[in-house]
């Protein structure tokens, strides 16, 4: 399961806020809601977040094994 816990810590430690992500970087409030709920986002959105926060992708997401993962 992909979780976005690192994103919230990265955001907290940055100069940005959810407001600036929405107003200055055009990240939608629905995307932020997806991040809150650990829902899928696109790689384009990941790229935008990394650019806005000047961070690697590992500062946005983390893989955590889960019993609810789909069978491969």
Report yes or no: 25 and 32 within 8 Å, Cβ to Cβ.
no
Query: What DSSP line would sit under 5-24, residue for residue?
Result: HHHHHHHHHSS--HHHHHHT
68 in a domain, yes or no? no
Q: Which residues contact 42 (CB under 8 A, 6 or more apart)?
A: none
What is the domain count for the chain? Answer: 1
72 in a domain, yes or no? no
CA distance linking residue 63 with residue 29, whole number of Å:
23
70 in a domain, yes or no? no
28 in a domain, yes or no? yes
Give the residue numbers spanning the domain of 16: 2-63
Report the CATH number at residue 15: 1.10.260
71 in a domain, yes or no? no
**Chain-centroid distance, C-alpha 48:** 10
Q: What is the pLDDT of residues 4-60, one digit of tens each?
A: 999 999 999 999 999 999 999 999 999 999 999 999 999 999 999 999 999 999 999
pLDDT at 45: 97
pLDDT at 2: 94
Statement: residue 66 has pLDDT above 90: no
């Amino acid at each position: 399961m992909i979780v976005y816990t690192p994103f919230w810590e990265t955001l907290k430690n940055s100069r940005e806020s959810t407001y600036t992500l929405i107003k200055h970087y055009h990240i939608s409030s629905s995307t932020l809601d997806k991040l809150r709920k650990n829902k899928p986002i696109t790689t384009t959105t990941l790229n935008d977040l990394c650019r806005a926060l000047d961070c690697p992708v590992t500062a946005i997401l983390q893989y955590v094994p889960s019993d609810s993962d789909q069978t491969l």
